[in-house]
Amino acid sequence: MTDFAWAWSAALVLAIAGGASTPDVGSGSVSAIGVSGVVFDSLSGTPLAGADVQLLREGASARTYDARTDSAGRFTISTVEAGEYVAGFFHPRLDSLGIDLPPVRVTLNAESQVELRLATPSRRTIISAVCPDSMAGDDATLLLGAVRDAARGERLTGAVVSAQWSGLAFQDAGLVSVEFGGMVPATAEGRFAVCNIPLDADVTLRAAVGADTSGALSLQFPPLGILARDIFVAPIGSDEPNASARLSGRVTSTTGAAVAGARLSLWGFPGAVRTDETGAFVFAEVPGGSTTLDVRAVGYEPVRIGIDLRTDAQRNNTVALVVARAPTTLAPITILDTRTSGVLLRSGFDKRAEGGVGRFLDAEALEKMQVVSTTSAIARFPGMLSRTSGRGSRLFMRDPKGVVCAPMVWVDGTPYSPNASADVDVAIDIDHFANPDEIAGIEVYRRVSQAPLQYAGTTQSACGVVVIWRKNML
């Protein structure tokens, strides 16, 4: 990530066609000119519809002319007096990117039709201006936005933004998945920018302003590599004003039919709800701010979306969700023995469980426990700790010296190293990886010395190791 100077300007692309004679504007004569043109979006390579174009006449007889572009990006102002003008345009897309385009001066001095051609800055121009260390190549990226209050929607000062993503790196154990990212401060106006994230990365964004925080917001870059996304924060404590929100909605299929029994969960929130026979669901009270909503239903593709839970007087947030049927590619098969022919046998889980070192849970045991989260299931083992904040629960252990620490976590053979701090909001959120009904087996080793060498060799911590195997791992 790169420090940046937010106050920057990008030049409008402006061309003027038409015009012949130059009347004496100061002589009292008035020349009527027709002005038309097009506004082009250089980021998408398409005309910019819905842009508000303005011509402001300077001088003693100041006057403003307005027009809005149509679906083809074109605009027309039928009658404009000759004179000196400044030209510019506004659009929500520019506002979301935080782009402040300087106006362009233009002289209209002929009784004829004048054609203006305006355009947004190019992708390369924007990334180079905000990310000076970036080469602005085809794989360059820019994530930007503002930190806002979930109650009022206002931009906040003193905000800090955390961005994290996974990537591959060579270590002693070979090519493994590791976590990248860090913290960036927002500007005094509450804006932030993060540069040079891999284009294909799944980014988790969080924000904090003092004790107010967001949830974990899952994001993906569009093909152009520029993503604008504001993030909302709210107090953590549910007893504080403007802390909690209500979320309701309905899940339907692409045909409009209600999807009953769908499971919905919010990242970092320990509970989950299911839709009724009409596809409706309700989270009666959840932490406010931006977070991620997961939707899963048997026979349908999973859905993951970022949502902003407002906590003002209109705290009753609603969302409509559409899920698509999962493609059927294989004929039904008969499972003869899920333990000996499935994930647990291939992963070596069964053999290690027979050895008696560590603690083990399989899918059958998890089902009998009837827990709402993976963290709550593991926390039932002796010596395990679960710490909860307004943003959910995190799992901890005590090392041989009695110090509370966060364990190394392996998911389907991929390691995830915890932050050195035992802060609940920076530890690994195990519940992000899988719900209890998606897990084939869990291994818990309270000491790193107890863990198998393939899982203990990549950590220098004295804390323990948690190994999770999902049903769809292989």
pLDDT digits (tens, 9 = 90+) for 309-351: 998 876 789 999 999 987 755 555 444 444 434 677 778 888 8
pLDDT digits (tens, 9 = 90+) for 70-129: 999 999 988 888 888 888 898 887 777 767 777 788 888 766 678 888 888 887 888 887
Task: Report residue 136's pLDDT band, with 50, 70 and 90 as the boundaries.
Answer: low
- What is the C-alpha to C-alpha distance for residues 279 and 251, in angstroms, rounded to an integer? 5
pLDDT digits (tens, 9 = 90+) for 276-294: 999 999 998 888 999 999 9
Do β-strands 226-228 and 142-149 pair in parallel, antiparallel, or remain unpaired?
parallel
Quick one: which of 282, 9, 256 has its CA closest to 126? Answer: 9
The count of other CB atoms within 10 Å of the CB of residue 419 is 12
Q: What is the pLDDT of residue 26?
A: 42
**Which amino acid belongs to residue 205?**
L
Q: What is the pLDDT of residue 328?
A: 56
Q: Phi/psi class of residue 100: alpha, beta or left (left: φ > 0; alpha: ψ in -120 to 50)?
A: beta
Q: What is the pLDDT of residue 23?
A: 38
Highest mean pLDDT among 14-28, 59-73, 166-180: 59-73
Q: What is the pLDDT of residue 339?
A: 44
User: By percentage, how much of the chain surpasses pLDDT 70?
Assistant: 77
Q: What is the mean pLDDT of the chain?
A: 79
- What is the C-alpha to C-alpha distance for residues 38 and 53, in angstroms, rounded to an integer? 10
| 3-state SS assignment for residue 119 | strand
Statement: residue 231 has pLDDT above 50: yes
Q: What is the mean pLDDT of residues 378-402?
A: 76
Q: What distances in angstroms separate CA 112 from CA 25, 140, 227, one per listed residue?
A: 15, 44, 41
Statement: residue 207 has pLDDT above 90: yes
Contact between 360 and 441 under an 8 Å Cβ cutoff? The reply is: yes
15-122 in CATH: which number?
A: 2.60.40.180
Q: Does domain 124-235 have CATH number 2.60.130.10?
A: yes
Statement: residue 20 has pLDDT above 50: no
- What is the C-alpha to C-alpha distance for residues 152 and 255, in angstroms, rounded to an integer? 37
343-470 in CATH: which number?
A: 2.170.130.10
pLDDT higher at 100 or 30 = 100
- Domain locations in the chain? 15-122, 124-235, 244-323, 343-470
Do the domains spanning 15-122 and 244-323 agree at the CATH topology level? Answer: yes
- Report, in angstroms and rounded to the nearest whole number, the Rg of the chain calculated over CA atoms: 28
pTM over 0.75? The answer is no
Q: Which value, to the nearest 10 degrees, does the dihedral of the CA atoms of residues 18, 23, 29, 34 take?
A: 0
For 456, how many CA atoms within 13 A lie in the half-sphere containing its CB?
A: 15
Statement: residue 376 has pLDDT above 90: no
Token code pair at residue 218: 């899952």
Q: Does domain 244-323 have CATH number 2.10.109.10?
A: no
* Count, residues in the chain: 474
Contact between 146 and 41 under an 8 Å Cβ cutoff? The reply is: no
